[in-house]
Amino acid sequence: MLRAGNATLDGVAELCWQTEVNGSGLHAVITYNYDNLLETVTDGSQCPFLPVWKSSRSLTANQRPIIHVHGYIPALGESSSPDEIVFTEQQYHAAAHSPYSWSNLSQIQCLSASVGLMVGLSLSDRNMRRLLDAMRITPLRKRQFAILRKPEWEQPKSEDLEEIHKKAVSYIELFVRSGAKKSWAGRSEEMLGIFQVLNSFEEHNYNKLLLEMGITPIWYSDHKEVRQLLQSILT
């Protein structure tokens, strides 16, 4: 039921289920969630995926970790102690600025050990950007991919364009007393074209920024596509 109601969770779970004990598949999963949803939907998989939320937690060679870098609070069972949970802004900044914190070391280890795939991240987290920047300039760098929703812009409505036109005319009239009030039949199409160019420029810059961070983006338009993208990895 959990997988049926969440396409992204279902796709990640399927990657876990297809992971072989001594073969191909995932080496580890890093999550910033506190819950045990992924552990629940992977229970019984051929290669066990177990939660890890502190440095003392160890696994066997035939097990894979689901690393909860901000803490682990399952519905039942053992969980993080209060001092192991990164919940408040103060706790977040303390962990982010500690180069030897378990959270940062765990992420660096995974980023440097194998090819990574980021799902459900906006990549706006400042600490994540610092870690990616640190990995970018090291010889340990591995390829990192991110499944991201393609940036979209809301097309202005006709009344919005009309309001923009009126304001533009009023500003022009402050300086030039000429034919600014003359009708311009194609003004809406022209303004839409300008917006499209600006949106394209913003998308180009975003793509360039990701590549500079060492991230190869995999774009999608609808959240329903995420599951299909994850399934394509298995084929």
Q: Please give the share of the chain, as a percent, with pLDDT higher than 70.
A: 77
Q: How large is the average pLDDT for residues 46-58? A: 87
For residue 205, give the 3-state DSSP assignment: helix
CA distance 69 to 105: 10
Residue 113 binned pLDDT confidence (cut-offs 50, 70, 90)? confident
**What is the model's pTM?**
0.76
Residue, of 31 and 209, whose pLDDT is higher: 31
Position 37 pLDDT exceeds 90: yes
| DSSP conformation class of 72 | -
CA distance 209 to 152: 17
Determine the Cα angle at 138 with ends 133 and 139, to 5°. Answer: 145
| The pLDDT value given to residue 93 | 82
Position 92 pLDDT exceeds 80: yes
pLDDT in tens, 6-21: 888 999 999 999 999 8
Position 178 pLDDT exceeds 50: no
Determine the Cα angle at 185 with ends 201 and 160, to 5°. Answer: 55
Q: Which amino acid is at 173?
A: E
Residue, of 152 and 218, whose pLDDT is higher: 218
| The pLDDT value given to residue 198 | 55
Q: How large is the average pLDDT for residues 170-195? A: 54
Residue 194 binned pLDDT confidence (cut-offs 50, 70, 90)? low
- Quick count: other Cβ atoms within 10 Å of Cβ 234? 12
